[in-house]
A and B are shown apart, each in its own frame.
Chain A
Amino acid sequence: MSYVIGTIINLLVSTSYAMTPLTLTAVGEITSERAGVVNIGLEGMISVSALVSVAVATQTLNPWLGLLAGVGVGALIGLIHGLISAYGKGAQIISGVGINIFALGFVPYMIIALWGVAGYKQVPEAGRIPRVAGLVSPVFILCVLVAIATHYVLFRTSLGLKIRALGEEPQAADTLGIHVERLQLIAAVYGGALAGLAGAFMSLDWLGTITKEIAAGRGFISLALVVFSNWKPSLALLGGALFGSSWALTEWLKVLPGVKGVVPVTIINTLPYVVTLGAVAGVIGRARPPRKSGVPYLRE
């Protein structure tokens, strides 16, 4: 009996870890896309932020400074992407691809340059984020609050109405005196900051290490989560839990007697991705993206 309860608690805790980066990144991207700015560079932003937060935390031995640095770097990349998209009217997909490719080279290079090791760097114990009651991450709690608060702002306030108007019909917003570019930039920075928080959480809290493949597709799965949640932060929280639990389940299955050694690990490892694919395929057609999302707004 206690084994069952223990297993359930274990699964719940691992779910809370696995869902946090997905949900944070998706909630940020939802805000950004609602304002009309699509960022497919999330994967790269998670990696770069994870790296910078480890560098700062290792140097200062203060996890909170590390976390802040990760958020800051995410916001900075979001700012650059926002400037290109909102003010430069540039191609958002290209800019996003650029971020991903930058991260692909920057992260492994910096791991070698900073620590002289190839591949990964362990975070010292003093640089890791402490857990609440030894189990729950404070970032997970923050993630739940952020999702709920973002949902409230988007759908219950005049600021949210303005943001959503930008993704639907920026011209209508413009004629009513809403500062289209400024708000789009703010939304892009917010999206970047949350992706940065997700990256910092992964390296400083969940995994306690930085590897060059730390994001492992989570940035792209977050993009799928955005679609799955129909651009609603509250549903991103639920969808994050679904995707996260499949991750937790995978880890549990790998060591389960009777499965371990029988089913190849590589097949078990595909589970979260299969769940993502199935879930998104199921909602496609029903999900309704913001009409002018990803389209640069040009005046007459």
Chain B
Amino acid sequence: MEDTEATGPDECLVSMKSVVKIYPDGTIALRGVDFTLRRGEIHGLLGENGAGKTTLMKILAGVLKPTSGTIYVGGRKVGFSAAADALKLGIGMVHQNLSLIPSFTVYENIVLGLSRRQLLNAKEGINKLMSLTGLKVPLDERVEGLPFGVRQKVEVLKMLFRNVDVLILDEPTTNLTLTETRELFNVINGLRRMGKSVVFITHKLREVLEVADRITVLRRGRVAGEVPRVEASLNLLAQLMVGKDAIPAVSRGVSTVGEELLIVRDLWILSDLGTWAVKGVSLTVRSGEILGIAGVEGNGQKELVEGLTGLRRVEKGEVIFRGQRIDNLPPSELYKLGVAHIPEDRVQVGLIQDFTVNENSILGIQRSMFFRGFLNTLAWDKVVEHASDLITKFNVIVPSLFSPVKYLSGGNQQRLVVAREISKEPQLIIAAQPTRGLDISATEHIRGLLLDLKKRGKVVLLVSSDLEEILQLSDRVAVMYEGRFVGVKDVGELTEDKLGLMLGGVSD
């Protein structure tokens, strides 16, 4: 009897108790979360980046194993070792990056893995399911040619055809058009009528209010609140999502704001999927100013940074830096004009892991005459001089200048990237998630360097999903949502309500 839990009158289908998840690298994603799901309810799971939404649901779907905590399904205690186990108990998850086989037809993707007996009349069954749910997909077409919205429908159908009772949708509206989002909501409402339960993971306030019966808000790995739809409001949810301690009181130092150095007008950039990731963004930044771009990840920040740094094509609009058009210039030209970039991904983009500290310290400036030696070869003594100069000035701790950077800690790798970029004496520095995953001292050090650049009259564009960082450093804050800015505000005007609303896509 101790492995079962009485099923209450409210038909509690799934119940998760004190779930903790610590990733192998030490990141604590969940700090004891309780979550319940009733039969036939649409449950919104709301939170910003790193709140633990996806982790919690991956545990329910059997993709991840919890560090501790228990899960009950239909009153019985369960332990999943693979996604297939959860699927057998009727729990299916549609991941943000779908798991379909591109070269297979829609039909083949739906029936993959089913037994021959289940395949009898499968087509008929799928057709019936399609008319029942309103999910219309072309069964005989290959998935690779289909737009994202249709692929997502295929995933939902795949799960429904396996008769799931619980369907988990992870940020399902991220890549959808407005019409497709409407369609999806109709489908979700239809599922509720069929008695299915749906977990809707999102950071979008209006959407969760529109479709959910009950909303659980997560913040930094804890439940910040659980609210029935009737008691929820935009303001309440925004507050729960961001929290009261979000706005730190830190002096940003006096800056003398000067002329407008960077002007971006109506910028349009495509995502990898071929949909618009940046939809007409405009901004201006003056010298001696830090403009913070906040937002939940996946709202176009990454593409915006890549567009501004010459790594992704700008389809429309213009970028003017010190009076000169710089859109679609290659990164090497941008460097000559004084644009530096601290990339989001130091492991893959910022550094070459197998190269030594010396070699990494001159990436991007290796053509500089300063490092030229006999017969145009690299003058290694100058390179070593430069590298050792950087590591002393910027407090980078390295085993040796000749060790590959993969042996440096994350914090020291990032210090090296920042040191190298600042050593280029940039006029504009674009910093994407500059302190993600770093310890406190490295974080403070890098933030200090950015503030220092600003004091010296440079332009800093800070893109971060860490609200504390945005608020601590920025003079003005723009919040990005679905490829647009929902508002640009002086940091003094921001309250947690306002910020939460903007993150959730509500402007005033």
Q: Which of A157, A169, A291 contacts B116 (CB 8 A)?
A: A157
Q: Which residue of A lies closest to B103 (CB)?
A: A168
Any B CB within 8 A of the CB of A6: no
The reply to whether A172 and B112 contact each other, CB–CB distance below 8 Å, is yes
B71-85 residues at the A interface, CB under 8 angstroms: 82-84
Any B CB within 8 A of the CB of A266: no
Q: Which residue of B lies closest to A162 (CB)?
A: B113
Would you give the 0/1 interface string for B107-150, flagging 1 where the beta carbon is closer than 8 Å to chain A? Answer: 01101111110010000000000000000000000000000000
Any B CB within 8 A of the CB of A251: no
- Whole-angstrom distance between the Cβ of B121 and the nearest chain A Cβ: 14
- Whole-angstrom distance between the Cβ of B341 and the nearest chain A Cβ: 30
Binds B, one of A78-86, A111-119, A174-182, A208-216: A174-182
Q: Which of A168, A178, A288, A300 contacts B113 (CB 8 A)?
A: A178
The reply to whether B114 and A175 contact each other, CB–CB distance below 8 Å, is no
Any B CB within 8 A of the CB of A173: yes
- Whole-angstrom distance between the Cβ of A299 and the nearest chain B Cβ: 9
The reply to whether A169 and B114 contact each other, CB–CB distance below 8 Å, is no
The reply to whether B112 and A176 contact each other, CB–CB distance below 8 Å, is yes
Q: Which of B64, B87, B88, B112 contacts A161 (CB 8 A)?
A: B112
- How far is B82's CA from A177's CA once the two chains are assembled, in angstroms? 8
- Whole-angstrom distance between the Cβ of A169 and the nearest chain B Cβ: 5
Q: If the complex has contacts A175-B83, A175-B87, are A158 and B116 also in contact, measured as CB distance less than 8 A?
A: yes
- How far is B103's CA from A172's CA once the two chains are assembled, in angstroms? 13
Any A CB within 8 A of the CB of B69: no
The reply to whether B103 and A176 contact each other, CB–CB distance below 8 Å, is no
Binds A, one of B94-102, B185-193, B223-231, B262-270: B94-102
- Whole-angstrom distance between the Cβ of A86 and the nearest chain B Cβ: 16
Any B CB within 8 A of the CB of A129: no
- Whole-angstrom distance between the Cβ of B506 and the nearest chain A Cβ: 34
Any B CB within 8 A of the CB of A250: no
Any A CB within 8 A of the CB of B371: no
Would you give the 0/1 interface string for A74-101, flagging 1 where the beta carbon is closer than 8 Å to chain B? Answer: 0000000000000000000000000000
B119 cross-chain contacts in A, Cβ below 8 A: 158
Q: Which residue of A lies closest to B87 (CB)?
A: A177
- How far is B113's CA from A164's CA once the two chains are assembled, in angstroms? 11
- Whole-angstrom distance between the Cβ of A290 and the nearest chain B Cβ: 8
A168 cross-chain contacts in B, Cβ below 8 A: 101-104
- How far is B82's CA from A173's CA once the two chains are assembled, in angstroms? 12
The reply to whether A173 and B113 contact each other, CB–CB distance below 8 Å, is yes
Residue pairs across A and B with Cβ atoms less than 8 A apart, 12 shown, are A158-B113, A161-B111, A168-B101, A168-B104, A169-B100, A175-B84, A175-B99, A177-B84, A177-B88, A178-B112, A291-B102, A300-B63
Nearest 10 CB-CB pairings of A with B:
A177-B84, A176-B113, A175-B83, A172-B99, A169-B101, A168-B101, A178-B113, A165-B112, A158-B116, A172-B101
